[in-house]
Structures are given as structure tokens and as C-alpha cells.
Structure 1
């Protein structure tokens, strides 16, 4: 399932990132690495606030849709 389908407060594990290599590299630099735990902290009309590796990161829904979790 994509990250946009995860409920607030739920913790998941990143399974895969389905994006161009440059976008994938950028997300990996932010900590979005396969096998990493990620939690959806909040959501608004423009995107998601995520907790990953102890940091809060905001992503728009288009970008979050490229991250597949389990």
C-alpha cells in the first residue's frame, strides 16, 4: 500500500520507493530507506507530516504516493 493510505498514528515499514532515480536518491538522503520505520503524524489537504528516524518531515501527497509500505 502507498504511504497516503496509512492512518494517522500508524507505524509502517518502507518496502519500496517507486520514483525516478533522482527522486529516489533525494528521499533516501532524507532517511526514506527500505526497511526503515515510518509514522504518519498528521495529514492536511496538501500532504503528510511524517516521523522518520526521530525527525518530522513534510511530504506532499504526490511524493508520498510513491513510497510503498507494509
Structure 2
């Protein structure tokens, strides 16, 4: 298991765990980051990631991406 920030552009993985406080987990879940779901990194810009989750492009900060384990 590793944080989402370790993936390269174009790489796809399955979300295995989401860490952090309950409010952080709920926020990420509302964006489509759920355990067992597929996620792929589209690009990285200034430490922030643009990812594809549930057929939707989402931009998240490096801090949030470090809470998503793949």
C-alpha cells in the first residue's frame, strides 16, 4: 500500500484505504474516493494532482492525495 502521490501520470490503481479524520474521509467520499474504487492519475501540477475517479476528473491537493492509499 502506498499514497496516491506515488503514482505516475497515466497509472491506474484501486483505492485500498483512506486515512485522516472523519470529516476528511467524508469529504473525499463525496468526491468519489471510495475504498475498492478505481483511480488513475491524469497529471500533476505544482504538487497538486488531477485524477480520474468514477469517470470524473477531480483536482486534489498533495495533502489530500497523501490520505488516499492505493
Give the structure-2-normalised TM-score.
0.95
Unpaired runs of 5+ in structure 2? none
Unpaired runs of 5+ in structure 1? none
Q: Distance in 2 between matches of 1:26 and 1:63?
A: 10
Counterparts of residues 56-67 of structure 1 (less than 5 Å): 56-67=57-68
Q: Which protein is richer in strand relative to its size?
A: 1
Give the structure-1-normalised TM-score.
0.95
- Runs of 4+ in structure 1 deviating by more than 6 angstroms, as ranges, are none
SS of aligned partner of 2:15? strand
Residue 53 (structure 1) aligns with: 54
Residue 4 (structure 1) aligns with: 5
